[in-house]
Amino acid sequence: MKTKAVKKILLALVCTTLTIALGACAGDRADDDRSQITIGIPQDVEDSLDPHKAVAAGTEEILFNLYEGLVKPDSDGNLVDALAESHTISDDGLVYTFTLRQNVKFHDGSVMTADDVKYSLDRCADTSSGAPLVAAFSAIESVNILDERTVEVVLTEPDKEFLPYMTAAIIPQANETPEKNPIGTGPYKYVSRAPQENFVMEKFDDYWGEGAHIDLVTLKVIANSDTIVTSLNGGAIDMFLRITLAQSEQVSDDYQVLEGTMNLVQAMYLNNKAKPFDDIRVRQALCYAVDPAGIMEINSNGKGTQVGSSMFPAFGKYYMEELNDLYETDLDKARELLADAGYPDGFSFTLTVPSNYPQHVNCAQVIVEQLKEIGVEAKIQLVEWESWLSTVYTDRNYEATVVGLDASSLTPAAMLRRFTGAASNNFINYQSADYDEAFEKALTSVDDAEKTQYYKECERILAQDAANVYIQDLPCFVALNKKYGGYEFYPLYVQNFASLYLVEEQSN
């Protein structure tokens, strides 16, 4: 008797499981008529949603869609007026005056006022917690409301390059919990987030400008890089930001692979204080031995742009292509320099590389092989990114590392300031009086041509001193379903989803 009952229960269980599973398989994906796109991201927006407190690059590039500043970058990297209708910079570089755009609405429906602007800028400059939320804002003397549509920002010292910092988000003063309830003026507004799962935004209908085309944007976290291609080919996501070259070759014909650049300087950064890298001859020898073209050939089929100093091509007039030829690969010269420096038989060192960046790990592996040619033995030590940040970047306890450094804003100072002697993030311990002087002159000069010249001088000094072994600006690939168009690469760490559109919608 008992066994019959057990059998019945078992049968019932099997039936239920199958019904649920099969029923679910037939489920339909489309939820409503609104246009939507699902975008895969490798890392969650794991940060505060408060635009002034969020610091992770991965968060900032997403928040670009929710928040705007008085000015914002366009896809060429130029700053255009956003919440300001126009702006003027005084000749002495001390006073920035903004005329505010009228009737700009926040996502909660309220209208942006001069008070909100002052509140937001003051908040970034607030030093009550010990340091301003945005480091550069310590240069602000005061923010004054001249009338209800004019705000001026007065600096403590002349600085003609302060405008990029005016991209800082303007938020409503009335919002008490911006970290949970993000309210901005951007083309998209926040809907919901589920940690490690997704981040949902919808089109903001009252946007002051042209606005977005797609109604609903869902960012889906695909943490395991092995599932990116299956998720794309299976149709679970329509787009993935930053796939590798190998992945781009595996995606199906439904996708277009767009190619851009990562806008960073990938280099083997050397601790200029650690032996033997404190000797310029040793550093130069490494530069002669490492062949960037060979690295690109092996890792990305030759794709990538060589760089010869801490500046990448998106910086336009500041980028110096001529520095690429400074150290034409020459193994004999490298051996000679090593012998001069007292290392005729080479030496060995540890190359600390963050393990979560395959592009840097792959690069390091090729470097190791190339250095063997001149008798230098590099041992790769893989560390987590968080360990890298504290050991290498903060404590400067390393010999050499391979990473990419980008610019937080499109000013040459953002790339070059870190190599001045006193910079707190001068993690390569580079010291050069000439460099510091040239940098200071570049900062203070008011004439644009002169400024450019001094910045170039800085780049040249870095290259001649062989402060680092410069390699390339990495190529970047984006997979996008052919149903969509309009993706734009920015020279900054920014993703603009408002420019995306459905192809058939556009042809109608």
User: How far, in Å, CA of 436 to CA of 127, rounded?
Assistant: 27
Min CB(494)–other proteins separation in Å? 15
At residue 352, what are phi and psi to the nearest 5 degrees? -90, 120
What residues contact 506, with CB distance under 8 A and at least 6 apart? 485
Contact by Cβ (8 Å): 496, 75: yes
Report which secondary-structure segment, H or E, holds 363. helix 358-372
Nearer to other proteins, 454 or 484 (CB): 484
**The one-letter amino acid at 327:** Y
Nearer to other proteins, 50 or 161 (CB): 50
- State whether residue 145 is helix, strand or coil: strand
Min CB(207)–other proteins separation in Å? 26
Min CB(411)–other proteins separation in Å? 14
Q: How far is CA 504 from CA 205, 258, 483, 498, in A?
A: 21, 19, 7, 17
Min CB(54)–other proteins separation in Å? 9
Sign of dihedral through CA atoms 311, 133, 45, 385? positive
User: How far, in Å, CA of 452 to CA of 458, rounded?
Assistant: 10
265 forms bridges with which residues in the sheet? 405
Min CB(439)–other proteins separation in Å? 18
Nearer to other proteins, 333 or 418 (CB): 418
Nearer to other proteins, 11 or 446 (CB): 11
Min CB(70)–other proteins separation in Å? 21
What residues contact 277, with CB distance under 8 A and at least 6 apart? 270, 271, 283, 349, 399, 400
Nearer to other proteins, 331 or 423 (CB): 423
Q: What is the CA radius of gyration of the chain?
A: 26
Min CB(422)–other proteins separation in Å? 12
- Number of CB atoms found within 10 A of residue 439's CB: 24
Nearer to other proteins, 102 or 397 (CB): 397
Q: DSSP assignment, residue 334?
A: H
Nearer to other proteins, 221 or 374 (CB): 221
Nearer to other proteins, 48 or 444 (CB): 48
Q: How far is CA 331 from CA 16, 353, 468, in A?
A: 71, 25, 18
Q: Which residues of the shown chain bind other proteins in the complex (CB under 8 A)?
A: 2-3, 10, 13-14, 17, 20-25, 27, 29, 40, 44, 46-50, 55-57, 129-131, 133, 135, 179-180, 194-197, 220-224, 226-227, 230-231, 233-237, 356, 383-387, 389-391, 393-394, 405, 408, 424-425
Q: Is 8 left (phi over 0), alpha (psi -120 to 50) or beta?
A: alpha
